[in-house]
């Protein structure tokens, strides 16, 4: 879809050789839900319909430490947020799924987050803003 974004994501990920935070982390973007598998933990699951927002949080910890995390925030507060470090196995497929499934997904915010070297957060999709757009 956006080959320039995919290429930028691949270059940044390759340059870091999967930071330690991404080791043992796998995300699966399935047809009805997102699964987060972290070594030695039970999988965390969030349905696509339960997703309230997607936020990228950056830190100043790079380049040797993970400095970009995807936060997939559920609509219901009692459900767990999925926190996915950049470089996690399946991250690219998750991005492609979000781009195709989430109307209004902000690719430019993703690019901006990729270039961030400080503590920041970038809302790349929010269900409430999509509802306000109307039919």
- Note the pLDDT of residue 115: 87
Residue 23: per-residue pLDDT: 83
* Res 132: pLDDT: 41
Whether the upstream peptide bond of residue 63 has omega within 30° of 0, thus cis, is yes
For the chain, the structural domain boundaries read 3-126
Largest CA distance in the chain: 45
Per-residue confidence (pLDDT) for residue 127, from 0 to 100: 93
The Cα 12–Cα 110 span in angstroms is 12
Q: What's the CA gap between 87 and 19, in Å, rounded?
A: 7
Cβ contact 54:75 at 8 Å = no
What pLDDT, on a 0 to 100 scale, did the predictor assign at position 103? 94
Q: Is 69 within 8 Å of 121 (Cβ atoms)?
A: no
Which tens digit of pLDDT belongs to each residue from 28-50?
A: 999 999 999 999 899 999 999 99
Positions of the chain with pLDDT under 70: 1-21, 62-65, 130-135
Using CB atoms within 10 Å of the CB of residue 98, give its burial: 0 to 12 exposed, 13 to 18 middle, 19+ buried: buried
């Amino acid at each position: 879809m956006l080959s320039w974004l995919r290429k930028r994501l691949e270059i940044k990920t390759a340059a870091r050789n999967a930071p330690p935070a991404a080791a043992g982390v796998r995300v699966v973007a399935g047809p009805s839900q997102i699964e987060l598998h972290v070594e030695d933990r039970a999988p965390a699951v969030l349905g696509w319909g339960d997703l309230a927002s997607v936020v990228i949080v950056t830190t100043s910890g790079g380049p040797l430490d993970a400095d970009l995390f995807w936060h997939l925030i559920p609509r219901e507060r009692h459900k767990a947020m999925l926190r996915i470090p950049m470089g996690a196995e399946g991250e690219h497929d998750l991005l492609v799924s979000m781009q195709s499934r989430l109307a209004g997904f902000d690719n430019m915010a993703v690019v901006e987050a990729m270039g961030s070297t400080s503590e920041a957060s970038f809302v790349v999709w929010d269900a409430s803003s999509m509802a306000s757009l109307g039919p």
